[in-house]
Chains A and B, each alone.
Chain A
Amino acid sequence: MEKKLQVKDLTISFRTTNGKVQAVRGINFDLAKGETLAIVGESGSGKSVTSKAVLGILAGNSIVEGGEIIYDGKDLLKISEEEFHKLRGDKIAMIFQDPMSSLNPIVRIGKQLTEAMILKGKARQKENRKNFNTTLELVRKAMIEAVAKGDSAKASELTAKCKKFDQFEYKHLELENAYNAAHEAAIEVADDIEPLVFELEKKAAKDLRYRLNTIASQAKQTFHTYVIAKDRNRVITLADSLSALNNPKKYGEDLPELRAALTELREIMLSASNRPVPNFFTMGYYVTFVNKLLPDMHIEELNAFMRKKLDEDFMLDFIDNVKAALIWSATNADAAKREAITSLRSNRALFEKEDLDKAACKQAIKEMSAVVSRSIDKLELVKDSFAYTFEKGMNGDLDKYFESIGKNAKEEKRFARQTAKHEAKTAKGKEPDWTVVPASITNLELVRKNMLAQIDRLADHYEEVLSTRASRDFDAEAVAVIDYLKACAGGVVKKVTKRMAKARAIKLMGEVGIPEPRKRYTQYPFEFSGGMRQRIVIAIALAADPDILICDEPTTALDVTIQSQILELINKLKAERNLSIIFITHDLGVVANMADRIAVMYAGKIVEYGTSRDVFYESAHPYTWALLSSMPDLDTKEKLDAIPGTPPDMLYPPVGDAFAARNKYAMQIDFEKQPPMFKISETHSAATWLLHPDAPKVERPKIITERIARMEAKRKESANDGE
């Protein structure tokens, strides 16, 4: 299955006045397309911190000590804030725990829903314009290098070609957008009329005046040569008759004439929306460079005619040129890549030493990044995340390293003072109830390892790229580059107006199950109940059409009925849009409902990881057992197995298994050494020494096995009832 998100060895700490709190300690998981991964654990286990890291909203005092979060080929921990802006809320969205505090109380719901859409629309336009211009410029330069080879006449010809492409591409989009607007309006009119006719028949039409006006004004937007041409006058007459209807007394009645008019309008719109569509790309070329007037032909003929014209005049040649440019650029980059590998391998030794030499390291990074930046094939559409983030990642780590070993006078003084105090107190025979916070809290070893890993990874990655180089299909890539340019241009022309945003917002509100969205659109958050508010939050999260939805305890503040509705809604949307969901909660009942796979977290580590079936029926970690048995179900009568004590203080994480102190199955080794992840099956693994081959055999608590048996019996019974 396609992996949407991969988290590898993620380690996050927080700087506090008492020292370093280790919130997340090297966790690994991945998220496939269209699946729900539930992260379960107590508060303070690091589950929210993990999700915040994915969304890039960690608190200011956080230190990302290592690891990576790969989304779409990019490492989210290393990309710049500007790049993150494009992902956050757009590709990765979040539903927060408390619907009251995540909505602005003094802004109307409608504004809050459309705000992001409009802002994102403008940003996208800007970004697309930039991408289009830079890519075309790069292509032009590469073309001149590859094809003209110093011939200035040839070069200016190529430049002219690029300009031509630019011109007719924009014309194409202009034409297409005008058509799309009219076409969409036609479909919408048809969609709006259908329920209205039904309601009129049942004599239960509400909001009739408003709806008729909308239909009439929309109908007038459908005029376009390729949508409504010969029926134009008829549509105008019908629309006028709709807006002329002005007798509110009759609204609750059946109006046969009105129904007839509406039905006729709907027929026209339906047939209009089913007409064949001309190829606007070729038409753009034809209109700009051949003839402003189109020949009078049937649409299919016209399409073929224009395509032939475009191909012969321009396109085949242009694609060839682009291909040549790509080959040239790739060859250059490959040569640079070979250089980069040698440079990386030779400079590696510098970072292996215990004490790093600052000047030498800086110089080495500079050297390496220079050759790495040369080795990036800028015309490649799939961005190489390792190469792009290399310089920033290396410099960041190096700075971190030297900052923490460099003399920070203030911290040193504090450290000396505290040590003296501590010693004085111990000398008196008392045991102080505090410990000395070290002057530096960065883990130097880890930072150094990080840098080495980055170098190795990039070199290995380059070797792999070079070995698979032969199989590249440049014909397909050239077409892909042109498609990419087309898509960018499309983004530039596509505007999100307030009106469009409103229409979309109202549609979304209907989708998440808010009755009367048109009325609700202008209300304030306090006019909504808790469940409705949470729906609004979900609608906002979905407004940008995200790939990944992070739900941080979305139903904890709600009661059962509403909770059940919200969960159903999330499940429905997941199926409809093929969303990937990270679901964070401590309620195991909810997890059972939602999750495809489950990661149980404790003290910053994943202690058990598996499919929903694995974790509920075959659970292996004592902490999972404790969680399962501490929660009553409908048949529980005996005393609950509460987990004694509290989670460990992550200022001083325990040496061994973090759960050992609260674990009644703990063995000696649990206090001494951290258990590795033991693999139980293909999908299921757990970090507990109990799974070690030498460990004594331990049965799961009775309360769980009994519950499973009971549930199974119940299921069978209900299945029998069903038959």
Chain B
Amino acid sequence: MENNEVLLRVEHLCQYFGTTKAVDDVSFDIRKGEVFGLVGESGCGKTTTGRSIIKLYDITSGSVYFKGIRIAAGVKSYKDAIAAAKKELAETKARLKGNTSSEAKAEIANASAKCAKTVSEMRAEIKKAKFDQKNCDKEYAKEQTAKLNAEYRPKLAANPGDKELKAEYKNKLNKARKSRLVTQIQMIFQDPIASLDPRMTVKEIISEGLIVHGEKDKKVLEEKVYEMLELVGLVREHAGRYPHEFSGGQKQRVGVARSVIMNPELIIADEPVSALDVSIQAQVINLLNELRDRLGLTLLFVAHDLSVVKYFSDRIGVMYYGKMVELAPSDELFLNPLHPYTRSLLSAIPLPDPEYEKQRKRIVYNPLAEHDYSKEEPTMREIKPGHFVRCNTEEYERYLEILK
């Protein structure tokens, strides 16, 4: 699966809730057709990352690009830059207060000009970010509408009496107007029981997305729903039933069908198997694997069960307290875990082997004891092609030693 086209790019994503930094400066990209796993303990921000990407939250800072278009942008970093520039100016002024020499005046003038420049630049950025955040979908819809117009208008002009063509045009136009870029990202939720409306039939649940986006033809809807049901291993008869009539695994299949019907390119699967029994887990994992091969899906797979993530993902990002600490191809990560937190996480995986379990020793991760960041702050560094670790220079060199 060598494909270097980047489908989703996350740059310096920050998501703060008040003073809590749920996600703090996370960057990664997902290539088309791959499964990207995101692991970490509960509360480390992996679910928040997923939800920020699909715009369930307004992000605080950073940008998310989908197919090269910025779909989400935060403004905090720009605001911070403005504040910093103003502060610098104020400091310069304070320093030179009472100094009436011409040099000092020149310095102040220089500083003001610099500050004004930064402020105006950053304000432009903020404006742009706000526009992107709000209008990326509208722009996309406009584009789609324009494309459609270009295709159909000449045809209609050529034979004005063709009613069928006109109807088809209208139908497509309706859909194009309502089309959204973000619908190409879909989500599968953790709890199949809580994420399905108990008062809707499976048909209503699965087709809801299409209806919202302008599909009115009942026959088309029905056919689509049946197709999806069969795709996820259910049968047509299930369409009329209610969620409570299904077992846990079947419910999760309905959740998968609901997200696949929108023809997405990227699926964010937020712990899709954590709430399921082992045997059902295997069914759902196999289903996702099959869909991925058949529909060429790209997946962001969020989970805390490392055996499943290892089995399923091409690349894995490890998160700890809102920060990405290590990112590597999955085999590489399990073979050469470098960051002490990754090591601790891997040492905690229970395996179905009693003899091994008796010997297994959990490594305890204590960030205060492991790292000394008083001299230099850590950054993400590429230690091997494709293998990134969050570390400072001293650690970087130590990790390089280990890899040898």
Contact = CB atoms under 8 A, between A and B. Distances in A.
Contacts of B277: 42-43, 586
A642 B283 contact: yes
Interface stretch (A6-14, A131-139, A211-219, A587-595): A587-595
A598 B307 CA distance: 22
A591 B250 CA distance: 26
A628 B356 CA distance: 16
Interface residues of A, number: 49
Interface in B23-50: 40-43
A456 B35 CA distance: 65
Nearest to B306: A560
B278 interface: yes
Contacts of A715: 355-356, 359
A636 B305 CA distance: 14
Interface in B334-375: 334, 344-345, 348-357, 359-360, 362, 365
Nearest to B311: A632
Given A592-B353, A593-B357, A715-B355, A631 B307 contact: yes
Nearest to A568: B362
B109 interface: no
Nearest to B248: A43
A590 B307 CA distance: 13
Contacts of A563: 348, 350
A631 B282 contact: yes
Contacts of B310: 632, 634
Contacts of B248: 43
B306, B307, B359 pick with most chain A CB within 10 angstroms: B307
Contacts of B306: 560, 634
A634 B353 contact: no
Contacts of A637: 311
A588 B356 CA distance: 13
B263 interface: no
Contacts of A588: 278, 352
B329 interface: no
B171 interface: no
B307 A589 contact: yes
A587 B41 CA distance: 18
A9 B305 CA distance: 37
Given A42-B277, A563-B348, A643-B282, A592 B41 contact: no
A587 B351 contact: no
A642 B355 contact: no
A711 B43 contact: no
B356 A642 contact: no
B308 interface: yes
A80 interface: no
B353 A616 contact: yes
Contacts of A627: 278-279
Interface in B162-215: none
A663 interface: no
Interface in A683-711: 707-708, 711
A564 B348 contact: yes
Given A630-B281, A639-B289, A642-B286, A592 B352 contact: yes
B322 interface: no
B320 to A, nearest CB: 10
A633 B307 contact: yes
Interface of A: 42-43, 529-530, 558-565, 567-568, 586-593, 595, 612-613, 616, 626-628, 630-634, 636-637, 639-644, 646, 707-708, 711, 714-715, 718
20 contacts: A43-B277, A530-B42, A559-B40, A562-B41, A562-B42, A588-B352, A590-B350, A591-B352, A592-B350, A593-B354, A612-B354, A616-B352, A626-B279, A627-B279, A631-B278, A632-B282, A634-B334, A639-B289, A640-B285, A642-B279
